[in-house]
């Protein structure tokens, strides 16, 4: 089984093949390098099969009892989570690399770019298969550097500034991550995953960071590590690096949005047993994720640039994924990040063609709004309304009444049902917005979407959860740790349900040309909010102002010191 | 006893004799440079040959290996010019004195140290510029350092320990005794600063190993506070600098302050601290050499704001400069990160505020170093500038620095014979107060 360590090494070999050689053989070498990356993908699939059938694999090139000694703690721990992530990364990496060969053909910097893509895939594969927290952190930082190099066009003045900001923000996350590691080592004396989980579970340590304030050891560690995860997964308010990096070649975004940005979600899942010990951190994650999901999605709606729209869509989805972690649905978060990764990689790889097509056909993709209005159909609307509201209600009643699933006591089950419902509503609302024509085909499509989403989620709930976390008690313990107060949980569900119902009525009224009375202050507020979200809540400007204040203080101190000496 | 006497003499004699013989080719700077590099290689060979007979210390023979290497690198990376002849000879002289101090016994070592500091004081005075009044502070600091070393040689404890500690604070810069270090890095001629940056802190650290068990509790508390202030002060000053050498001086001051803090907290010298010091000094030395490359091409008084766009036209320089910058920011797999991480994991940290200061200093390094890299490498290309990539000797010197710093990060114990200690930190069993 030791051959599995070749999986992360093969893309490294590809990077070396691309980077070293003459300019004349560049194209040939670029094509040859695709084979090792493809082989890594096949190897990742084999690894997944092996760890699924034979259990986790551990390979260490260091002494685990002396992690803090003078040695690089190089090792691999490949379990089902690692293997799933390896398949995703190697798969997307292979597609992105092959696409990039053609996309970057005859570009001045194709060698550097292709080598960095292959190297990034290698680092990501090593990161998800790290044997300990220390090695994970080492590679985590390398990813920060690669993002700085890869996701920015350094010959573009404005982007260069963005690159510094990206790196600085990622370093803030790195510092928090490092503090978490140091604290974990101080409290539990190890950074080996399994030993760390075991020690954290058996020793309840209380810290006093400030007089009068007490905090659990596991909470302090997980909170610090969570800040690290926030930075990589672009969570509010340290999300601004992602939209800033949109000047890079399109395939970089495919890799970034499908692979690198998932690092935060992976970290939380890797440390799930540790996070399961701290309800506070899970609740913080839930709030941060929810705020990011709402703000990301809202800012996405107010953008007028396709790449920025996709960038904010990713931020929203990452918020959604972190929110799932905060609810204790760790396997759902992994499932989400895989689905999102594949979807976003496809969208980014094809967005260049869409832009190209739009330039050739100025009317594309906008249809005539009047035509849309005329095509409004009660049949379509009613089907959508019923499928998103009535069928889920029936499912809920059946599961509670017939199958005797204790919904009131089981937030976990409700969470899964809730996500099924929200996702299907989102898909159907999108469909009706795009094709609100009177057609049985559209109505059938809605029902099929609902069925598709339900089956996919059922798979996620049953098979995927059982695959990643075979012990049902473990899954239940995470839900228990993440459980929100009942009034809050019910309030959130009712609130979201109201938003969806109102959405349907709004669509109906708008399509029928009916005027909805709203107070004038709401109208004014709507315009202000639109401007606010279009300008991304002025968070970039706030950071700039903060940077200016810091530098002003720094220069004042420097001047005083110079005068004194 | 004979060995104790002959080893330092032999190690010191090779470079000092080399310096004297170098005067023969004084009128030919190119030959002087080649000769000086050969002498540093011979010194390194001498160290390797004798290393088996040396008394075992916590830092092992690491500094003894690194000093000739750093001297060789500084000489190799420096330009061939009449004005740099003195720097060549002095590098060899200082190398000899440094090797002597590191291998000799307490009293003899202190006397040689007093001579070395006296020489540097004289050099700073010689190169004093009325437009740079701050160098008086540096001259004063090294003057005091020389006096302290002399005092430590002639008196007994506790006076000798206190004098020695003060000399350590001047050599391995600790606020407010850092002016000598800053002046040396900015005012000394030629490639001397890139050697001094390792020589003096290494000697200071070596002296600290002997002194630290004798330091009273009150002095340790003072050291802790000064180290924390120094870490922040160094970062703030580095952030405010536009001049590269000052930025590097204050940046390394901040990192050395971190080292002081760990020494003060643990009251012992850990192998990780040795790796950290050696890496910080070497990386700073490498960055000073890269700046020397720029100065060689665009003049000694070049304004860093005026140079940009080196990335495309000087790719070798850009790659090596970037690697050194990454190392200076404390990123893996370089020695600075390995040492910093090792110290953090082995030291017993009881103060969240202190940890916060360390982290702020570490984070700030990313800011000011990256700013420097951005300005030099990625700015707009200037059509009026002549871009010339690294010459072979410059390339070799920078490459060696990068390789050593990587080696220090990956496997310092096996490569440099650093003595490992078992980790002292264990799992905490009960509630801890973490609020000092």
Mutation site, B277, B309, B334, B345, interface A, largest A CB count within 10 A = B345
Coil vs helix vs strand at A25: coil
User: What would the pLDDT profile of A21-55 be if each residue is shown by its tens digit?
Assistant: 887 888 888 899 899 999 999 999 999 999 888 88
**B262 is in which domain, residue-wise?**
216-418
Contacts of B377 in chain A (CB under 8 A): 154
Tens place of pLDDT per residue across chain B (436 aa): 445 567 778 888 889 999 999 888 888 888 998 999 999 999 999 988 887 777 666 667 888 899 999 999 999 988 888 778 888 899 999 999 999 988 887 778 889 899 999 999 999 888 877 777 778 888 999 999 999 988 888 887 778 888 889 999 999 999 899 889 999 998 888 889 999 999 999 999 988 888 888 888 888 889 999 999 999 999 999 999 888 899 999 999 999 999 999 988 888 788 888 889 999 999 999 999 999 888 888 887 777 777 877 877 888 898 999 999 999 998 888 889 988 988 888 877 767 788 889 899 999 998 899 888 888 888 777 777 788 888 888 999 999 999 999 988 887 766 666 666 555 444 444 444 444 3
A238: helix, strand or coil: coil
Give the pLDDT confidence score for residue B432 in this predicted structure.
46
Q: Which residues of B98-109 are buried (b: 16+ CB within 10 A; e: fewer)?
A: bbbbbbbeeebb
Burial tier of A23 (Cβ tally within 10 Å: 0-12, 13-18, 19+) = exposed
| A165: pLDDT strictly greater than 60 | yes
- Contact B236/A558, CB-based, under 8 Å? yes
How far apart CA A329 and CA A352 sit, in angstroms, is 35
| pLDDT at B431 (0 to 100) | 44
At residue A328, the pLDDT reads 85
Residue A180 has pLDDT above 70, yes or no: yes
Q: Choose, out of B59, B180, B229, B236, the residue to mutate when testing the contact with A (most A CBs < 10 Å).
A: B236
For residue A186, the chain B residues in CB contact (below 8 A) are 348-349, 425, 428
* C-alpha radius of gyration, chain B, whole number: 21
User: pTM score, two decimals?
Assistant: 0.86
Q: Does B157 touch chain A (CB under 8 A)?
A: no
CB–CB of B237 and A172 under 8 A? no
| pLDDT tens track for A443-463 | 777 777 777 777 777 776 678
Residues of B in contact with A67 (CB under 8 A): 345, 423
- Taking the CA of residue A221 and the nearest CA in chain B, the distance in Å comes to 13
Judge whether A90 and A9 are in contact, CB under 8 Å.
Answer: no
Query: Are the beta carbons of B418 and A68 separated by less than 8 Å?
Result: no
Question: Which residue, among B129, B199, B131, B132, has the nearest Cα to B171 in the 3D structure?
Answer: B199
A119 close contact with B: CB closer than 8 A: no
Question: Which single residue is written with the structure tokens 């070592």?
Answer: B109
pLDDT value at residue A470: 84
Positive or negative torsion for Cα A338, A343, A344, A348: positive
Does A185 sit within 8 Å of B239, measured CB to CB?
no
Q: CA B387 to CA B381: how far, in whole Å? A: 10
What is the count of structural domains for chain B?
1
Q: Is residue B113 in a domain?
A: no
**Residues of B (260-319) whose Cβ lies below 8 Å from A:** 271-272, 275, 311
Judged by average pLDDT, the poorest of A221-230, A511-520, B353-362 is A511-520
Question: Which of B355, B418, B426 has the CB atom closest to A70's CB atom?
Answer: B418
* Contacts with A374 (C-beta within 8 Å, 6 or more apart), sequence order: none
Question: How distant is the Cα of A60 from the closest Cα of chain B, in angstroms?
Answer: 15
Q: Which residue from A68, A187, A555 is facing B346, i.e. has the nearest CB?
A: A68
3-state DSSP call for residue B287? helix
Q: How many CB atoms lie within 10 A of CB B114?
A: 21
Closest CA to A253 of A308, A178, A183: A308
Specify if B345 maps to a domain.
yes
| Contact between B420 and A70 using a beta-carbon 8 Å cutoff | yes
Q: Nearest C-alpha of chain B: how many angstroms from A239?
A: 18
Per-residue pLDDT, A371 = 52
Residue ranges of domains in chain A: 1-131, 132-361, 367-516
Helix (H) or strand (E) holding A428: helix A411-434
| Cβ–Cβ < 8 Å for A257, A314 | yes
Question: ipTM of the assembly?
Answer: 0.86
Q: What is the pLDDT of residue B202?
A: 93
Q: How many CB pairs under 8 A join A and B?
A: 133
How do residues B29-64 score in pLDDT, each as one tens digit?
889 989 999 999 999 999 888 877 776 666 678 888
State whether residue A163 sits within 8 Å of chain B by CB: yes
Residues B142, B164: Cα–Cα separation, whole Å: 13
As a whole number of angstroms, the distance between CA A185 and CA A133 comes to 10
Whether residue A375 has pLDDT greater than 70: no
Residue B162 inside a domain? The answer is no
3-state secondary structure of B177: coil
Residue B100 within any structural domain of the chain: no
CB A138 within 8 A of CB A123: no
Interface contact B338, partner A, CB < 8 A:
yes
Chain A nearest-CA residue for B432: A207
Q: B58 touching A, CB under 8 A?
A: no
Task: Count CB atoms within 10 A of the CB of residue B309.
Answer: 20
Q: Pick left, alpha or beta for residue B417 (phi over 0 → left; psi -120 to 50 → alpha; otherwise beta).
A: left
CB of A195 less than 8 A from some CB of B: no
Q: Which residue has the tokens 């020389």?
A: B146
A90 or A400: which leads in pLDDT: A90
* B344 with A142: Cβ contact below 8 A: no
Q: How confident is the model at residue A392 (pLDDT cuts 50, 70, 90)?
A: low
CB B72 within 8 A of CB B40: yes
**Residue at B408 is within a domain:** yes
User: How far is the C-alpha of B191 from the C-alpha of B176, rounded, in Å?
Assistant: 26
Q: Encoding tokens for residue B229?
A: 């202030």
Could you give the CA distance from residue A447 to residue B428 in angstroms, rounded to a whole number?
Answer: 57
Grade residue A411 by pLDDT with cuts at 50, 70 and 90. low
Residue B185 CA neighbour count, 13 Å, CB half: 32
Number of C-beta neighbours around residue B159 at 10 A:
12
Q: Is B378 near chain A, with CB under 8 Å?
A: yes
Q: Looking at beta carbons, which residues of chain B come within 8 Å of A152? A: none
With tokens 């440079």, the residue in question is B33
Q: Which of A70, A154, A189 sits opposite B413 (nearest CB)?
A: A70
Q: A15 vs chain B: nearest CA distance in angstroms?
A: 16
Residue A78 phi/psi, 5-degree rounding, is -115, 110
Residue A554, both tokens? 């720094």
pLDDT value at A313 more than 70: yes
B9 occurs within a structural domain: no
Distance from C-alpha of B197 to C-alpha of B173, rounded to nearest angstrom: 10
Neighbouring CB atoms inside 10 A of B431's CB total: 13
Distance separating the N- and C-terminal Cα atoms of chain B: 48
């Amino acid at each position: 089984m030791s051959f599995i360590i070749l999986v992360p090494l093969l893309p490294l070999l590809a990077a070396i093949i691309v980077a070293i050689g003459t300019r004349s053989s560049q194209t040939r070498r670029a094509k040859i390098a695709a084979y090792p990356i493809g082989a890594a993908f096949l190897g990742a699939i084999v690894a997944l099969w092996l760890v699924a059938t034979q259990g986790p694999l551990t390979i260490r090139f260091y002494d685990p009892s002396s992690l803090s000694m003078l040695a690089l703690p190089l090792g691999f721990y490949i379990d089902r989570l690692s293997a799933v992530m390896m398949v995703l990364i190697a798969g997307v990496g292979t597609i992105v690399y092959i696409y990039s060969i053609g996309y970057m053909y005859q570009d001045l910097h194709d060698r550097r770019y292709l080598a960095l893509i292959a190297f990034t895939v290698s680092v990501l594969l090593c990161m998800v298969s790290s044997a300990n927290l220390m090695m994970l952190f080492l590679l985590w930082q390398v990813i920060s550097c690669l993002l700085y190099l890869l996701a920015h066009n350094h010959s573009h003045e404005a982007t260069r500034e963005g690159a510094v900001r990206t790196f600085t923000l990622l370093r803030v996350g790195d510092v928090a991550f490092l503090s978490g590691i140091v604290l974990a080592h101080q409290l539990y004396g190890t950074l080996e995953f399994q030993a760390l989980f075991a020690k954290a579970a058996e020793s309840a340590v209380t810290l006093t960071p400030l007089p009068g304030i007490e905090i659990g050891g596991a909470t302090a560690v997980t909170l610090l590590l969570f800040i690290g995860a926030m930075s990589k997964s672009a969570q509010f308010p340290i999300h601004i690096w992602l939209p800033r990096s949109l000047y890079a070649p399109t395939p970089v975004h495919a890799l970034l949005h499908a692979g690198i940005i998932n690092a935060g979600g992976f970290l939380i899942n890797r440390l799930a047993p540790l996070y399961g010990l701290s309800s506070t951190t899970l609740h913080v994650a839930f709030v941060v994720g929810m705020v990011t999901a709402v703000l990301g999605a809202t800012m996405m709606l107010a953008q007028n640039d396709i790449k920025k729209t996709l960038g904010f869509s990713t931020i929203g989805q990452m918020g959604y994924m972190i929110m799932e972690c905060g609810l204790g649905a760790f396997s759902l978060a992994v499932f989400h990040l895989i689905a999102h990764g594949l979807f976003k990689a496809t969208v980014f790889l094809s967005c260049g063609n869409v832009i190209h097509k739009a330039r050739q056909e100025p009317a594309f993709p906008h249809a005539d709004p009047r035509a849309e209005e005329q095509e409004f159909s009660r049949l379509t609307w009613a089907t959508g309304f019923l499928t998103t509201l009535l069928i889920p209600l029936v499912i809920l009643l059946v599961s509670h009444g017939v199958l005797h699933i204790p919904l009131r006591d089981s937030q976990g089950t409700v969470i899964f049902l809730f996500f099924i419902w929200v996702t299907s509503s989102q898909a159907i609302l999108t469909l009706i917005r795009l094709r609100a024509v009177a057609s049985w085909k559209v109505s059938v499509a809605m029902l099929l979407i609902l069925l598709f989403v339900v089956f996919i989620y059922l798979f996620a709930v049953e098979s995927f959860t059982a695959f990643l976390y075979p012990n049902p008690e473990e899954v239940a313990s995470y839900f228990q740790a993440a459980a929100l107060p009942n009034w809050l949980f019910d309030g959130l569900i009712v609130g979201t349900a109201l938003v969806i119902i109102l959405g349907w009525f709004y669509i109906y009224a708008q399509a029928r040309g009916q005027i909805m009375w709203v107070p004038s202050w709401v109208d004014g507020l709507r315009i202000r909010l639109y401007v606010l979200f279009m300008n991304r809540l002025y968070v970039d400007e706030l950071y700039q102002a903060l940077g200016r204040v810091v530098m002003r203080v720094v220069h004042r101190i420097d001047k005083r010191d110079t005068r004194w000496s | 006893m004979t060995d104790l006497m002959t080893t330092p003499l032999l190690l010191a004699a090779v470079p000092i004799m080399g310096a004297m013989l170098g005067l023969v080719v004084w009128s030919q700077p190119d030959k002087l440079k080649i000769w000086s590099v050969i002498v540093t290689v011979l010194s390194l060979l001498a160290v390797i040959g004798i290393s088996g007979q040396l008394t075992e210390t916590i830092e092992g023979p690491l500094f003894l290996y690194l000093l000739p290497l750093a001297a060789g690198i500084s000489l190799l990376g420096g330009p061939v010019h009449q004005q740099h002849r003195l720097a060549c000879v002095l590098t060899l002289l200082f190398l000899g004195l440094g090797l002597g101090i590191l291998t000799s016994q307490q009293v003899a070592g202190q006397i040689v140290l007093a001579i070395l500091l006296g020489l540097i004081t004289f050099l700073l005075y010689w190169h004093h510029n009325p437009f740079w009044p701050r160098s008086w502070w540096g001259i004063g600091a090294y003057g005091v350092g020389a006096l302290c070393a002399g005092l430590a040689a002639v008196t007994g404890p506790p006076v000798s320990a206190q004098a020695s500690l003060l000399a350590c604070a001047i050599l391995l810069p600790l606020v407010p005794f850092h002016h000598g270090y800053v002046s040396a890095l900015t005012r000394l001629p030629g490639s001397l600063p890139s050697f001094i940056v390792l020589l003096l802190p290494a000697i200071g650290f070596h002296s600290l190993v002997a002194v630290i068990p004798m330091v009273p509790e009150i002095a340790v508390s003072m050291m802790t506070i000064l180290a924390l202030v120094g870490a922040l002060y160094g970062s703030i000053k580095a952030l405010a600098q536009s001049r590269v050498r000052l930025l590097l001086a204050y940046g390394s001051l901040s990192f050395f302050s971190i080292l002081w803090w760990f020494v003060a907290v643990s009251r012992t010298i850990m192998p990780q601290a040795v790796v950290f010091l050696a890496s910080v000094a070497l990386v700073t030395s490498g960055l000073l050499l890269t700046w020397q490359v720029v100065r060689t091409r665009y003049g000694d008084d070049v304004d860093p704001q005026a140079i940009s766009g080196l990335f495309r036209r000087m790719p070798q320089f850009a790659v090596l400069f970037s690697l050194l910058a990454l190392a200076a920011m404390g990123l893996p797999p370089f020695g600075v990160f390995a040492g910093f991480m090792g110290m953090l994991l082995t030291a017993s940290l009881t103060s969240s505020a202190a940890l916060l200061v360390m982290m702020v200093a570490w984070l700030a390094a990313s800011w000011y170093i990256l700013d420097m890299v951005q300005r030099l490498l990625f700015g707009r290309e200037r059509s009026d500038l002549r871009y010339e990539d690294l010459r072979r000797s410059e390339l070799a010197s920078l490459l060696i620095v990068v390789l050593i710093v990587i080696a220090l990060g990956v496997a310092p114990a096996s490569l440099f014979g650093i003595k490992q200690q078992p980790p002292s930190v264990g799992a905490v069993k009960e509630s801890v107060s973490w609020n000092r």
